[in-house]
């Protein structure tokens, strides 16, 4: 020791936060006293032209000893000197320091040298490595003045970090070279920089508080130990570790009305806290474990009466799937279909409520069983219906009220539905004997013909037809699709089906009017826009050219009609021609 002063490293005022040094202010001012030396060696400093102490110092804060290392090479400190816990960055040169690398040395090596026979040498090497990084802004050794530690030549003895040989200097460079870096040479070590506790202020007597720890680039950091502390009330946890999102939560309970509580969350672990001299006369020190609340945030929880009640009104068409239809149009439902309502009432305040009353703008709720009084977080629900949906837009509103100390609190919630009209689509599949596409007397319908109601049926493409419904013609050849909302549809008759008992394969298409034929799909299709009931979408057919099984009477009528309309006129013409020839 020279001039009864200990000479240590340091450049400026920094704060080791989480895994490293951070530029920040402490939330409160505490004093730290340099009480003794820890593990150290005397090594050579070319700047001082002699030996200096390199190793750990013991700093005492509120009766607790913290092992520490020097940050400032060019200032001194003596046992008994007092420093302030935490401080701001105050010189521009500090912005040039590779603090990521310094933090890596502190976190990786300063808390892990346990071999008693090597502790002093390891502590000296750690100090030398820290000096190397924090003095880097001064540049390489040029023969005089302040310079980067350990950039001086080693061809003359003694040199920086020399102690009976190069062992301490070599070990320091092993540490320096172990710093993780990306392809551009930048240090990639992550360390916590700040803690945020939310909400900042709460008027809930029982509250979940969430702490988020951020690293030096502002990203949430996983795996940081956090301690919670509070002035009044009860915390469900006092310690924990941040998750993959950098979060950890604690719940505060057991507060009484009219009281407040302050909750703190602070990072802990093998990270450093800055100890500095506001007058900048003494050495700057960093502990190797965080001093409580040196990296912290706080919230205030105010416990006051906060009565409130909530109602949610839901709507359903099946008493199973519920929709919170606050806004129009709400639930879309067909006219005359069933509609149900569900009411869910919750005491969302922090006091019990009484005289609970549930009402609705459209319906009586006598069948609803109300929970009265309604305790804190108490919930009850009620389902009514079914009712018949009416045409058009409909809104009805539920309201709940509850009393606390002669004051009434209430909430309302609407439910909406849009009743949609439905239509019937029908027609006849008939035997078009005269092929005029009109169903004339004696042109009977085909029974057991399968028809599809589709949303699409392209004329020239073999695309699938999205099917809405399937039906069959009755004994008179009549088909019908019911309860259809207004839109574009296609009724189609496939030539081939999976049903061996239907009559589809026996039909032969007649190309008339609105009936289109899709050859690829082998379907006859009628396209239409449904806006009202329609029962005249008829399909004219004749028998398959190959022959089919149809009612004998129908087939006989067909032959008679064919003979009458075609064969007899031809025979009459031939007979007339013969008579003329005989004349």
pLDDT in tens, 352-384: 999 999 999 999 999 999 999 999 999 999 999
Q: CB–CB of 93/11 below 8 Å?
A: yes
Is the residue at 274 inside a domain?
Answer: no
Q: Which of 128-132, 393-397, 495-499, 519-523 has the lowest mean pLDDT?
A: 519-523
- Among candidate residues 147, 177, 207, the one where a domain is terminated: 177
> Can you give the CATH number for the domain in which 386 is found?
2.60.40.10
Same domain, yes or no, for 329 and 416? yes
pLDDT of residue 411: 98
C-alpha–C-alpha distance, residues 555 and 346, integer Å: 74
C-alpha–C-alpha distance, residues 81 and 75, integer Å: 13
Q: Is 185 helix (H, G, I), strand (E, B) or coil?
A: coil
C-alpha pair distances (Å), 249 with each of 209, 224, 227:
6, 13, 11
Q: For residue 125, report the phi and psi dihedrals to the nearest 5 degrees.
A: -65, -40
Kindly state the average pLDDT of the residues 264-290: 79
C-alpha–C-alpha distance, residues 475 and 125, integer Å: 103
In the predicted model, is pLDDT for residue 20 greater than 50?
no
Same domain, yes or no, for 27 and 79? yes
pLDDT band at residue 474 using 50, 70 and 90 as cut-offs: very high
To the nearest whole number, what is the mean pLDDT of the chain?
Answer: 82
Same domain, yes or no, for 414 and 455? no
Q: CB–CB of 449/477 below 8 Å?
A: yes
Token pair of 244, please? Answer: 């993959």
For the chain, what percent of residues have pLDDT higher than 90?
A: 47
C-alpha pair distances (Å), 225 with each of 211, 269, 578:
11, 6, 119
Q: Which segment, 262-271, 429-438, 507-516, is predicted with the most confidence on average?
A: 262-271
Same domain, yes or no, for 23 and 82? yes
Nearest C-alpha neighbor of 402 from the set 378, 377, 373, 365: 373
Kindly state the average pLDDT of the residues 58-71: 90
Q: CB–CB of 73/9 below 8 Å?
A: yes
pLDDT band at residue 72 using 50, 70 and 90 as cut-offs: confident
Same domain, yes or no, for 105 and 142? yes
Which domain range does residue 430 map to? 423-550
Q: For residue 566, report the phi and psi dihedrals to the nearest 5 degrees.
A: -115, -55
CB-based contacts of 21, cutoff 8 Å, min separation 6: 14, 15, 71, 99, 102, 103, 106, 272, 274, 286
pTM beyond 0.75: the answer is: no
Kindly state the average pLDDT of the residues 166-179: 97
Nearest C-alpha neighbor of 87 from the set 77, 72, 76, 102: 72
Buried b (16+ CB within 10 A) or exposed e, 291-319: bbbbbbbbbebbbeeebbbebbbbbbbee
Kindly state the average pLDDT of the residues 102-131: 85
Is the residue at 277 inside a domain?
Answer: no
Same domain, yes or no, for 24 and 138? yes
In the predicted model, is pLDDT for residue 459 greater than 60?
no
Kindly state the average pLDDT of the residues 256-268: 91
pLDDT of residue 9: 33
Q: Which residues pair with 229 in a beta bridge?
A: 264
Cis before 386? omega within 30: yes
C-alpha–C-alpha distance, residues 454 and 502, integer Å: 19
Kindly state the average pLDDT of the residues 552-569: 47
pLDDT of residue 37: 92
Which helix (H) or strand (E) segment is 83 a member of? strand 82-85
What DSSP string runs through 5-45?
BEEE-B-S--EEETTEEE----SS--EEEEEEEEEEEEEEE
> How open is the CA angle 473-476-477, to the nearest 5 degrees?
35
Token pair of 488, please? Answer: 């574009």
Nearest C-alpha neighbor of 70 from the set 274, 228, 322: 274
Is the residue at 478 inside a domain?
Answer: yes
Is the residue at 187 inside a domain?
Answer: no
pLDDT band at residue 193 using 50, 70 and 90 as cut-offs: confident
In the predicted model, is pLDDT for residue 91 greater than 50?
no
pLDDT of residue 256: 86
Kindly state the average pLDDT of the residues 263-280: 82
Is the residue at 60 inside a domain?
Answer: yes
- Among candidate residues 364, 392, 420, the one where a domain is terminated: 420
CB-based contacts of 149, cutoff 8 Å, min separation 6: 9, 45, 47, 73, 128, 131, 132, 135, 160, 161
CB atoms within 10 A of CB 501: 8
C-alpha pair distances (Å), 398 with each of 307, 321, 384:
19, 19, 12
pLDDT of residue 552: 33
In the predicted model, is pLDDT for residue 555 greater than 70?
no
Same domain, yes or no, for 34 and 173? yes
In the predicted model, is pLDDT for residue 559 greater than 60?
no
Q: Which of 2-16, 102-116, 211-225 has the lowest mean pLDDT?
A: 2-16
Q: CB–CB of 250/209 below 8 Å?
A: yes
Same domain, yes or no, for 56 and 138? yes
Q: What is the pLDDT of residues 38-59, one digit of tens each?
A: 999 999 999 999 999 999 999 9
In the predicted model, is pLDDT for residue 87 greater than 60?
no
Is the residue at 282 inside a domain?
Answer: no
Same domain, yes or no, for 118 and 153? yes
Is the residue at 485 inside a domain?
Answer: yes
pLDDT band at residue 116 using 50, 70 and 90 as cut-offs: low
pLDDT of residue 11: 29
C-alpha–C-alpha distance, residues 226 and 242, integer Å: 7
Token pair of 57, please? Answer: 């110092």
Residue 108 is given by DSSP the state I
Is the residue at 285 inside a domain?
Answer: no
Same domain, yes or no, for 17 and 164? yes
Kindly state the average pLDDT of the residues 213-236: 94
Q: Which of 112-121, 277-286, 567-576 has the lowest mean pLDDT?
A: 567-576
71 φ/ψ sector (left φ>0, alpha ψ -120 to 50, else beta): alpha
Q: CB–CB of 295/22 below 8 Å?
A: yes
Cα R_g (the chain), whole angstroms: 46
Kindly state the average pLDDT of the residues 241-251: 97
Q: CB–CB of 73/135 below 8 Å?
A: yes
Same domain, yes or no, for 45 and 167? yes
Question: What's the domain count of the chain?
Answer: 5
Kindly state the average pLDDT of the residues 537-547: 60
Same domain, yes or no, for 168 and 197? no
Q: CB–CB of 76/100 below 8 Å?
A: no
For the chain, what percent of residues have pLDDT higher than 70?
A: 80
Kindly state the average pLDDT of the residues 143-156: 94
In the predicted model, is pLDDT for residue 326 greater than 90?
yes
pLDDT of residue 466: 79
Nearest C-alpha neighbor of 89 from the set 193, 12, 9, 10: 12
Nearest C-alpha neighbor of 134 from the set 51, 217, 73, 44: 73
Nearest C-alpha neighbor of 24 from the set 220, 209, 192, 179: 192
- 537 or 263, higher pLDDT: 263
């Amino acid at each position: 020791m020279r001039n009864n002063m200990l000479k240590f490293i340091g450049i400026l005022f920094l704060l080791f936060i989480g895994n490293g040094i951070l530029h920040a202010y402490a939330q409160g001012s505490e004093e730290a006293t340099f009480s003794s030396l820890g593990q150290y060696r005397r090594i050579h400093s070319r700047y001082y032209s002699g030996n200096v102490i390199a190793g750990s110092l013991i700093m005492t804060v509120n009766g607790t000893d913290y092992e520490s290392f020097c940050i400032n090479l060019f200032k001194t400190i003596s046992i008994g000197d007092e420093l302030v816990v935490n401080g701001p960055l105050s010189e521009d040169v500090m912005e040039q320091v590779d603090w990521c690398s310094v933090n890596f040395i502190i976190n990786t090596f300063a808390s892990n040298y346990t071999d008693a026979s090597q502790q002093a040498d390891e502590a000296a090497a750690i100090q030398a490595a820290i000096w190397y990084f924090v003095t880097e802004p001064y540049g390489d050794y040029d023969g005089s003045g302040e310079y980067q530690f350990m950039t001086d030549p080693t061809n003359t003895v003694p040199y920086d970090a020399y102690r009976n040989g190069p062992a301490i200097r070599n070990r320091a460079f092993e540490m320096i070279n172990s710093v993780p870096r990306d392809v551009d040479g930048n240090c990639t070590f992550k360390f916590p920089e700040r803690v945020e506790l939310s909400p900042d202020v709460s008027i809930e007597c029982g509250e979940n508080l969430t702490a988020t720890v951020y690293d030096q680039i502002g990203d949430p950091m996983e795996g940081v130990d956090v301690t919670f502390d509070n002035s009044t009330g009860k915390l469900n946890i006092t310690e924990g570790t941040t998750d993959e999102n950098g979060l950890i939560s604690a719940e505060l309970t057991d507060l009484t009305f009219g009281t407040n509580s302050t909750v703190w969350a602070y990072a802990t672990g093998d990270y450093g806290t800055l100890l500095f001299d506001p007058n900048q006369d003494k050495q700057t020190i960093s502990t190797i474990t965080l001093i409580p609340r040196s990296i912290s945030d706080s919230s205030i929880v105010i416990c006051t009466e906060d009565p409130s009640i909530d109602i949610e009104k839901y709507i359903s068409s099946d008493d199973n799937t519920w929709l919170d239809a606050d806004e129009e149009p709400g639930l879309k439902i067909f006219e005359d279909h069933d509609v149900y309502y569900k009411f869910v009432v919750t005491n969302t305040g922090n006091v019990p409520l009484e005289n609970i009353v549930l009402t609705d703008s459209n319906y009586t709720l006598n069948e609803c069983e109300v929970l009265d009084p309604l305790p804190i977080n108490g919930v009850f629900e009620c389902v009514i219906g079914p009712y018949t949906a009416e045409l058009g837009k409909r809104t009805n509103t539920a309201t709940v009220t509850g009393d606390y100390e002669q004051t009434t609190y209430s909430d309302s919630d609407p439910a909406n539905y849009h009743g949609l009209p439905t239509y019937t689509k029908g027609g006849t599949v008939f035997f078009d004997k005269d092929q005029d596409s009109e169903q004339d007397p004696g042109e009977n319908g085909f029974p057991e013909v399968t028809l599809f109601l589709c949303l699409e049926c392209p004329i020239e493409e073999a695309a699938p037809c999205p099917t809405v419904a399937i039906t069959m013609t009755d004994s008179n050849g009549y088909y019908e699709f019911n309860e259809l909302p207004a839109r574009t549809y296609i009724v189609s008759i496939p030539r081939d089906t999976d049903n061996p008992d239907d009559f589809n394969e026996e039909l032969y298409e007649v190309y008339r009017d609105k009936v289109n034929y899709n050859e690829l799909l082998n379907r006859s299709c009628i396209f239409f826009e449904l806006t009202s009931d329609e029962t005249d979408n008829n399909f004219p057919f004749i028998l398959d050219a190959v022959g089919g099984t149809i009612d004998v009477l129908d087939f006989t009528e067909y032959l008679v009609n064919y003979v009458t309309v075609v064969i007899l006129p031809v025979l009459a013409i031939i007979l007339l021609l013969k008579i003329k020839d005989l004349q």
